[in-house]
Amino acid sequence: MARANSGPRKKPRLRTELSDDDAARLDEAVALFGLPKAEVVRRLIRASVQSGPALSAENMDVVAALAAEVRQVGRTLAQMLRTMRQGRAVGFDVAEPVWNELHAAIAAIDGELTEMTLAHGARVRRIAQLSIPDALRGGGGVV
C-alpha cells in the first residue's frame, strides 16, 4: 500500500554523486570519527561556514608575501645558473652559503604554508566536533 502524501517534507534533503575518491574519503572519515555519513557531512557543512574560508584576508597577505619571497629565490637561482653557464662559476666555498640560504628560505616558506593549512583543518575539525576516538588514535587528546 502506498504511503499517503502528508505534504512537503519538513527537512530538506541532499542527494549527490561522489567520485570514487571522494566516496573513499567519506568512508575514511566515517571510520575515523565513528559517525554516520550524514552526520559527518552535516558537521563539515556547519563548520565550513563557521570557520570561514581557508585563506583569510590576513592569510592572503601572508601568501602574497611568500610568493614575493619565492620569486626572489627564483631570481637568485637564475642568476647563479647564468653565471655557471657563462663559465664564471664560483667555488663551492662561496656558493654553499648561498645555496644554504636559499634552502632555508624555501623551508621557511613551506613551513608557513603548511602551518596555515594545518591550522585551518584543525579549526574545521574542532568546530565540527570531529575528534578521532582514542581507540583509533592510540591514546592522547583531540586532533
Confidence of residue 141 (pLDDT cuts 50, 70, 90): very low
Tens of pLDDT, residue by residue over 42-93, are 888 888 777 666 666 777 788 888 888 888 888 888 888 888 788 887 777 7
Tens of pLDDT, residue by residue over 85-134, are 888 877 777 778 888 888 888 888 888 888 877 777 777 788 887 776 66
With 0.95 as the threshold, say if the pTM is over it: no
Which residue, 98, 116, 117, is CA-closest to 106?
Answer: 98
Which residue, 9, 107, 8, 15, is CA-closest to 66?
Answer: 107
pLDDT for position 64: 83
